[in-house]
Structure 1
Amino acid sequence: MAKNEDPSFVMFSTAHIMAGVVLCLSIFLLFILKQKRPHQLKKSLLLERFFALSLLIMEVLYHVWMIKAGRWDLSNSLPLELCSISLVAAILLLWTGNRHLYDFVFFAGIGGALQAVATPDLDLSYPHFRYFHFFYTHFGIILTALYFTWMKGFGPTFKGIIKTMVALNLLLPLVFAVNIFVHGNYMFLRMKPIGGSLLDFLGPYPWYILSLEAVAILMFVSLWLLFRKRAVIEEKLWS
């Protein structure tokens, strides 16, 4: 358990706002760097794998910390949250460049990580390791998706939305079964997070799960339209 002197995380506190500022600056920097265009980034493989390893190491260290702190438990420590699954997909995407993984990381990864950053399910704050782990890994998911979009020439497709929704709905019953077996609440399929989240606006249990499906589709389509339109404009500018 956390020691009494460990800082508690407060939503919309200075530590939370500063994390949001860092994310915005990171996205802006990546947006500026995209002007180099993919054909000038052929030697980026080393950078991609270094970032993948940093995300993997950070996640491994998190589990080591949980074990040492007596926090690791089957009911809440398995990598079965949406962002945990997206993190694994992002690491594999950085290592392999697989197009199918890109679709999942772009839609489910960005959607889930943005929600998590906006309303973190987090109990420890700056300067605790857990604070850095939480935001580094969630930022990593978002930045990986944008990196492959802006730097590598990948782009979201409507077919990618369908594939992501199918993948998510195949995962749901499996995660729900694990929840029952280990008395967990992975992907918040048994109850909403106690600390409050965007799920509070989607109705009571279990209806918020159906509402979340609709929100996911709306968010995925919005991301597709936003980046699809930008890709078309940029293609005309560079042609």
Structure 2
Amino acid sequence: MNEPFVMFSTVHLVALSVFLAAVILLYRYRKKLRVAPINAKRFERIAAISLFVIDGLYYLWMIQTDRWGLASSLPLELCSISLLATILLLWTGNRHFIDFVLFAGIGGAFQAMLTPDLDMNFPHFRFFHFFFTHAGIILTGLYYVWVRGYKPTFKSVVKAFIIINALVPAIMIVNWLVDGNYMFLQMKPVNGSLLDFLGPYPWYLLSLEVVAFCMFTLLWLVLRQWRIDSANGSKEK
């Protein structure tokens, strides 16, 4: 029987270390990836397929094990929406998806990886699905800045923030209809998360708005340091 997942256990720290190594390697080899656009496009589509397949297998697993339900299994969590945007971005190259992936995706996925709402431990399939998909969201956002030369602006921050808030009313209605807790709009996750530091319900929702906007802005301030000249790949800060 699979043991329950324990936050900041050895397997959790190893998973975070592997993810950090992937980030470092992406940055280290950004110039080599940048000079081969045809191979890059093939790589992007392979990445999109891998994320789509593993997420599809996750839904099949939930159905097979009678875990699927309207109240908890619809792709309405922030990271589920970000994963869909990530797959579409990688497959189509449509840059309308970048801002959401870059800020909402990275912000949500990073918090999720630090404090996972996860009931299955290594080596269960769900463990690999969780870390693979969340890492995929973050690495895709960084890839489009470091390799593809996307230059995020403060307008990008505002755009991502507005999109999230536009989604909230619809998701709250779904929560009410199916007695769900998508995007943790009804209650905090039971296994603990960063939301525990933001006050009781419903005030943590307002605190979360402030935290999200500050996190998006911080991401923008960090990522704007990489000003890549997409024409020759020679200009960086």
| TM-score in terms of structure 1 length | 0.94
Q: Distance in 2 between matches of 1:221 and 1:233?
A: 23
Match of 1:90 in 2: 86
Q: Which runs of 4+ in 1 moved over 3 A?
A: 39-42, 232-235
Once residues 60 and 37 of structure 1 are traced to their aligned partners in structure 2, the CA distance between those partners, rounded to angstroms, is 28
The CA distance in 2 between the partners of 1:17 and 1:128, in whole Å, is 16
Structure 1 residues 234 and 221 mapped into 2: Cα distance closer, same or farther (>3 Å)? Answer: farther
Name which of 213, 222, 226 aligns with 2:209.
213
Counterpart check, 1:104 vs 2:100? yes
Would the aligned equivalents of 2:149 and 2:227 in 1 still touch at CA under 8 Å?
Answer: no
Q: Is structure 2 residue 58 aligned with structure 1 residue 81?
A: no
Measure the CA separation in 1 of the matches of 2:178 and 2:110: 28
Q: Which residue of structure 2 lines up, in the alignment, with residue 164 of structure 1?
A: 160
Structure 1 Cα separation of the partners of residues 228 and 128 of structure 2 = 36
Which one of the candidate residues 144, 149, 161 is aligned to 1:148?
Answer: 144
Amino acid at match of 1:54: S
Q: Which has the higher mean CA deviation after the structures are superposed, 119-128 or 27-36?
A: 27-36
Identity %: 55
Q: Distance in 2 between matches of 1:165 and 1:193?
A: 22
1:99-135 CA-to-partner distances (Å, cap 9, x unmatched) read 2200000000000000000000001100000000000
TM-score between the two structures when normalised by the length of structure 2: 0.95
* 1:116 equivalent in alignment to 2:112: yes
Q: 2:155 is paired with a residue of what secondary structure? A: helix
Aligned AA (2:95): R
Q: C-alpha displacement at 1:233, in angstroms?
A: 11
Equivalent in the alignment of 2:48? 52
Distance apart, 1:43 and its partner CA: 2.5
Mapping 1:128-143, distance limit 5 Å: 128-143=124-139
Q: Which residue of 2 aligns with 1:26?
A: 22
- Whole-angstrom CA distance in 1 between matches of 2:49 and 2:229: 34
Q: 2:192 is matched with which residue: 196, 217, 223? A: 196
Q: CA RMSD in A?
A: 1.7
Match of 2:74, SS state, is coil
CA distance in 1, matches of 2:127, 2:194: 20
Secondary structure, in 3 states, of the residue corresponding to 1:108?
helix
Q: Structure 2 CA distance, aligned partners of 1:25 and 1:234? A: 25
**Aligned counterparts of 1:96 and 1:79: Cα–Cα separation in 2:** 20
How many angstroms apart in 1 are the aligned matches of 2:42 and 2:32?
17
- 1:60-86 Cα offsets, whole Å, 9 max, x none, are 100100111110000000000000000
